[in-house]
A and B are shown apart, each in its own frame.
Chain A
Amino acid sequence: MADDLFIEMEAAQYTKTGQGACGDDVRFMTVEKENRHLVALSDGLGSGVKANVLATMTTSMAIKFLESNVPMLEAVEIIMDSLPVCEVRKIGYATFSLFDFRLGGKARISEMGNPGYIHLRGTEEVAPLKDEQIVSSHWPDREVRKCEADFRSGDRIILCSDGVTQSGLGVRKDMKFGWRRSGVLSFAREKIAADPDISARDLSEAIARKALYLTPDGCKDDISCVVCYLRHPRVMRILTGPPFYKEHDAEYARQATLGFDHVVICGGTTANIMERELGVKVKVKLSDMRTSGGLPPVGTMEGVGIATEGILTLGRVLTALEQMRPADREPAAARAILERMMRHDRIEFVIGTKVNESHQDPNVPQDLELRRSVVKRIAAALEKNYRKKVTVNYY
């Protein structure tokens, strides 16, 4: 059923060595009420800030046009007419690849100037259902390719900028014309063969990293790789706070049985409830106590999940998500939660609503917000900044 499916869309990028801004731009959009998911990838002419401006203009316009179903030819003409003309090359130019998918329907891909998209079902490449070229009368030298693809559960679509397909060009003797689309294709197939469930995040990162690796003396062109992966959602559950009524403890604890890699117990009292109800002890390694870096350490409950402190840890998670900071700069407990969030598609919060009175002690040197409001903001940041599905249940 389409309702059970989730589309994971992730991008990995590297900027050309020596440039302050990436000359490629990637933009995602979810049109909630239509269950529609859009991606725009553009490579601006040249590199650095100027290219970034061209690329960003292109993706911003393109994604808006896609959203409002403007015919492709008209959209392309408007985009081309609006781009500033390069002083050096006397053309206004940015390439693009657009992906438009409605859950339960077909995927539409349009591209101009970018390497051709790759559609994989397992390790097999899938040909488009429809494939046509359209040409604008304003811009006769710009050909737009319009495809329709049968995008099914388990399929992946890969879009990249030419920084990926041309990596290695002129550097590697065995790659006279660079890595090429065929190189990316066989690399992606190898990766999928080795790990059939590889996430879009990991696959896009692997491809971009490999492209970077092929140009050992610095990145020669901006590298961008987008992977869209349609699959059943990976669900994780975060349990935080004791239930309002003690009688609900047992039922609440049963929510934590989803498998070790998918559960976070967030809060000391919550962990105690789990210990009591599930008969599993929280273990904290001493080495983790020393290196917990500004938050109480992470513990593990065998067979259940990880256990962290509650509101301080959630607070750090919230800041990182709102500011889109990488997890590896966070203290251990926040990092553990953030990394798990990134590996999952749907994040289910189960919140006990009992207020911890000791947090309201005026001697506590920090304002402690209520769990519910922190979780509400975490949910908003996950949905807006990371395109996750979030549900919240109260106990």
Chain B
Amino acid sequence: MDKIKVEICCGTACYLLGAANLMSIEDEIPAEFRDKVEVEARTCLELCEKENLGGAPYVRFNGEEIMAQATNEKVLARIEELVGGAA
């Protein structure tokens, strides 16, 4: 099974609007999921300049699914769903 890829946008707007807190997300992923998830920091996903996506900070799952206004809770919950779904 491929790892679930989680990309955190570290662009200015995302960082200021909450991505700073997402930097520690790796540590919060439950131990049993850790080898199934790959977290990456991205310079800028260039989503903030597009309208109607819901607002920064943005996190992208598996290269396509975009989460707007991401928080640690929301990201962790989505990881759990994706890992559960894939298992």
Q: Given the known A-B contacts A286-B26, A290-B24, A297-B41, are A272 and B15 also in contact in the complex, defined by CB atoms under 8 Å?
A: no
Instruction: Tell me which residues across on chain B come within 8 A of A288, comparing CB atoms.
Output: 41
Is A296 positioned at the interface, with any CB of B under 8 Å from its CB? yes
CB-defined interface of B3-22 with A at 8 Å, one 1/0 digit per residue?
00000111111011101100
Number of interface residues of B (CB under 8 A): 26
Instruction: Tell me which residues across on chain A come within 8 A of B16, comparing CB atoms.
Output: 312, 364-366
Is A323 positioned at the interface, with any CB of B under 8 Å from its CB? no
Instruction: Tell me which residues across on chain A come within 8 A of B39, comparing CB atoms.
Output: 286, 289
Docked CA distance A21–B16 (Å): 40
Q: How far is the CB of A296 from chain B (nearest CB, A)?
A: 4
Q: How far is the CB of A287 from chain B (nearest CB, A)?
A: 10
Q: How far is the CB of A256 from chain B (nearest CB, A)?
A: 14
Is A141 positioned at the interface, with any CB of B under 8 Å from its CB? no
Q: Does B17 lie within 8 Å of A364, measured CB to CB?
A: yes
Q: Does A299 lie within 8 Å of B43, measured CB to CB?
A: yes
Docked CA distance A268–B26 (Å): 22
Stretch at the interface among A146-154, A164-172, A182-190, A351-359: A351-359
Is B49 positioned at the interface, with any CB of A under 8 Å from its CB? yes
Q: Does B43 lie within 8 Å of A361, measured CB to CB?
A: no
Docked CA distance A271–B55 (Å): 21
Q: Does A358 lie within 8 Å of B43, measured CB to CB?
A: no
Is B56 positioned at the interface, with any CB of A under 8 Å from its CB? yes
Nearest opposing residue in chain B for A297, CB measure: B41
In chain B, positions 23-49 with a C-beta closer than 8 Å to chain A are 23-24, 26-27, 39-44, 46, 48-49
Q: For chain B, what secondary structure do more than half of its interface residues adopt (helix, strand, loop), or is it mixed? A: mixed
Q: Given the known A-B contacts A269-B46, A297-B41, A365-B17, are A359 and B27 also in contact in the complex, defined by CB atoms under 8 Å?
A: no
Docked CA distance A127–B16 (Å): 59
Q: Report the contact-size class of chain A (Cβ under 8 Å from the partner).
A: 20 to 34
Q: Does B23 lie within 8 Å of A268, measured CB to CB?
A: no
Partner of A289, one of B11, B26, B44, B55: B26
Q: How far is the CB of B70 from chain A (nearest CB, A)?
A: 15
Stretch at the interface among A11-19, A33-41, A228-236, A303-311: A303-311
Q: How far is the CB of B41 from chain A (nearest CB, A)?
A: 4
Partner of B49, one of A292, A295, A357, A368: A357
Is A363 positioned at the interface, with any CB of B under 8 Å from its CB? yes
Q: Given the known A-B contacts A290-B24, A309-B11, A363-B55, are A272 and B46 also in contact in the complex, defined by CB atoms under 8 Å?
A: yes
Q: Given the known A-B contacts A272-B46, A363-B55, A365-B17, are A356 and B12 also in contact in the complex, defined by CB atoms under 8 Å?
A: yes
Q: How far is the CB of A369 from chain B (nearest CB, A)?
A: 11
Docked CA distance A358–B53 (Å): 13
Q: Does B10 lie within 8 Å of A268, measured CB to CB?
A: yes
Is A336 positioned at the interface, with any CB of B under 8 Å from its CB? no
Q: Given the known A-B contacts A292-B23, A358-B49, are A363 and B43 also in contact in the complex, defined by CB atoms under 8 Å?
A: no
| Of B24, B26, B44, most A-chain CB atoms within 10 Å | B44
Partner of B12, one of A290, A299, A368: A368
Instruction: Tell me which residues across on chain B come within 8 A of A357, comparing CB atoms.
Output: 49
Question: Which 6 A-B pairs have CB atoms at the shortest separation, nearest pair first?
Answer: A268-B44, A358-B48, A268-B11, A271-B43, A296-B10, A284-B41
Given contacts A288-B41, A297-B41, A312-B16, 16 further A-B contacts (CB under 8 A): A269-B11, A269-B44, A272-B46, A282-B42, A284-B41, A292-B23, A295-B15, A296-B12, A296-B15, A296-B20, A307-B43, A309-B11, A309-B43, A358-B11, A364-B16, A368-B12
A-B contact pairs, 9 of them (CB 8 A): A267-B43, A282-B43, A286-B26, A286-B41, A292-B23, A297-B10, A309-B10, A358-B13, A361-B48
